[in-house]
Amino acid sequence: MKNSNEIKKALFNIGYGLYVITSRNAYKDNGLIVNSVMQITDNPNRIAVTINKKNYSHEIISETEIMNINCLSVDAPMSVFENFGFQSGKLSDKFRYITFSRSKNGLAVLSDYINSFISLKVEQYLDFDTHGMFICSVTDAETINNNKSMTYSYYLENVKPKPKKTNKKGYICKICGYIHEGELPDDFICPLCKHGVADFEPINIKEEKEMKKYVCDACGWVYDEELGAPDLGIAPGTKFEDLPEDFACPLCGVGKDMFSEE
Is the alpha carbon torsion for 54, 55, 59, 65 positive or negative? negative
pTM higher than the cut 0.75: no
Q: Give the number of C-alpha atoms closer than 13 A to the C-alpha of residue 62, restricted to the C-beta side.
A: 16
- Per residue of the chain (262 residues), what is the pLDDT tens digit? 456 667 766 766 777 899 999 999 998 999 999 989 999 998 899 999 999 888 899 999 999 999 999 999 999 998 998 899 877 888 889 999 999 999 999 999 999 999 999 999 999 999 998 899 999 999 999 999 999 999 988 988 898 776 554 455 788 877 666 778 778 888 888 776 667 888 888 875 344 446 788 988 877 788 888 888 876 778 777 889 889 888 888 877 888 888 888 7
- CA-CA distances (angstroms) from residue 210 to 162, 218, 253? 23, 25, 27
Domains of the chain, earliest start first: 4-158 (2.30.110.10), 162-261 (2.20.28.10)
Give the separation between CA 253 and CA 35, rounded to whole angstroms.
Answer: 10
Give the separation between CA 176 and CA 26, rounded to whole angstroms.
Answer: 24
